Structure 1
Amino acid sequence: MISDLAGRFRRHDRPVRHRSLAFSVLGPCGLFAAGLLAEYLLGGVKYSSIGDTMSVLASIKQTAVVTTIGFVWCSLCQIITATGLPVRRIARIALAVAGVCGLVVAACPVGVNAFPGMTTIHFAAAAIGTTILAIWPLLSASRAPGTPLPFRPVVATMATIALLALLAWLLSQSINGSMLGLVERLAVYGGVTWPAIATWWAYRHYRDEGRLPARVTGATEVAGAAEPVGVQPS
């Protein structure tokens, strides 16, 4: 049934935009780098990356700015990436919404009650954003001929199952677990990294087929030509 739903999605024949190619990788890298820098800046503050979440890291005075910048950067990169992906509109909108949720998470840090319900908004945005990222592989799937591997129904379904399993594990850890921080990182980094993997794979796929636009390949397009001049299909 899941594969049948994915099979209704339209063909992935829209070339990968250069901005999506770059920002799909810059987002996760920036978030990971911010996390590493924040832990370095902790000094003598008691914090465990295994048991404590990134939200807690963002609430500590010494690391709040760096961690928040990481959240904002990754979220903005997701939004930019969504504008140039070779997927149907609902998948691009979903990725952009996940980015907006990340911005809300950054704007409503845990422990800073600037207004009533701020912490609730933080956790609600985090839950919505991570859930969207978990199902995004399925939203972007297609059975059309020539679809890049990460967007094919079997691969996309497996990725969604894996990400949802991480979310289920995260939920169980949040109720009663000692590895909440580690599992949260696995779920978040997994969710933001999959679009990057899919984007780069799609870029290589379309490049090998000679279907990238001239501004990406450097080729010259001729009116009426099926392929850009100088790009030979494999």
Structure 2
Amino acid sequence: MWIVPWWALLSSGCAPVVLVGAWMIAEQLHGPGYEPVTQTISLLGADGAAGQWVLNGALIALGVCHLVTAWGLRAASLAGRLALGAGGLAAIVVALSPEPTNGGSLRHGFVVGVGFTLLAVWPVLAATRAKGPPWALRPAASITATALMGLGAASFLIELQGHGAAGVAERVLTTAQSLWPFVVVASCLRHARSS
């Protein structure tokens, strides 16, 4: 019951590597005018940015990783899998609707907000009350993951509105959101081996 296919480990493991690698490469392509502490990742993928193709290509790859992981993570509840998959679709839509070079975009901001929300709530939606689930699908672990991601999102919004360390807050949040599917899949595989 708790078995997940090996390719779900591959797709979930690629997600954080693709995301972090892409923003690091896009930062290098952008040059010294970009400040990663205070500026958002979206600026690296904005229309006309030097690393736009890198970041937006990586967001599409990230979305595909989440979709594949959601498909293979049969140990999680259906609601959680749907939220993870929808979060993956949101990442793809973000890539297809980059920010303009100057100013913001309501559509881009809305899709980012929806994606952050879906990826924050999927852990609690994926939890199962079945007997003996893997630790990452237990209610306590799932609630903790969702609460921490919610706090991370709140921190990002506060920093963004206060013109503070929004770039740092966003990177911490997106890294956690891209890493949690891997943690869940790994816990399922470990649980299946020990059973």
- Tell me how far 1:119 sits from its aligned partner: 2.1
C-alpha contact (below 8 Å) 2:121/2:146 kept by paired residues: yes
How far apart are 1:79 and its partner, in Å? Answer: 0.5
- The answer to whether the Cα contact below 8 Å between 2:120 and 2:146 also exists between their aligned partners in 1 is yes
Distance 2:79 2:2 in 1: 14
Residues matched between the structures, number: 192
Report the Cα distance in structure 2 between the residues aligned to 1:56 and 1:188, rounded to whole angstroms. 15
Distance 1:30 1:192 in 2: 9
Query: Which of 41, 50, 54 is the matching residue for 1:62?
Result: 50
Runs of 4+ off more than 6 Å:
none
Deviation, structure 1 residue 61: 2.6
Whether contact under 8 Å (2:45, 2:51) holds in the other structure is yes
The 5 Å alignment of 1:1-234 reads 13-44=1-32, 46-59=33-46, 60-85=48-73, 86-111=75-100, 119-209=105-195
More helix by share: 2
RMSD across aligned positions (CA): 1.6
TM-score, normalised to structure 2, is: 0.93
How far does the alpha carbon of each residue in 1:35-94 deviate from its partner, in whole angstroms, 9 at most, with x for none? Answer: 1111122234x0111000010111253111111111111111100110010112111111
2:161 maps to a residue whose letter is: I
Amino acid at match of 1:72: I
Counterpart contact for 2:2–2:133, Cα < 8 Å: no
Structure 2: stretches of 5+ with no match in the other structure: none
Alignment deviations for residues 98-141 of structure 1 (CA, whole Å, 9 cap, x no partner): 0000011000000069xxxx922211111011111111111011
Counterpart residue type for residue 94 of structure 1: A
Counterpart residue number, 1:4? none
Structure 2: distance between partners of 1:142 and 1:127: 26
**How much does 1:18 deviate?**
2.0
Give the partner amino acid of 2:15. G
In 1, Cα distance between equivalents of 2:66 and 2:141: 21
**Structure 1: which 5+ runs fail to align?**
1-12, 210-234
Q: AA paired with 1:132?
A: L
Of 167-176 and 100-109, the range deviating more from structure 2: 167-176
Letter in 2 for 1:48: E
The structure-2 alpha-carbon separation of the partners of 1:26 and 1:94, relative to structure 1 and needing over 3 Å to count, comes to same
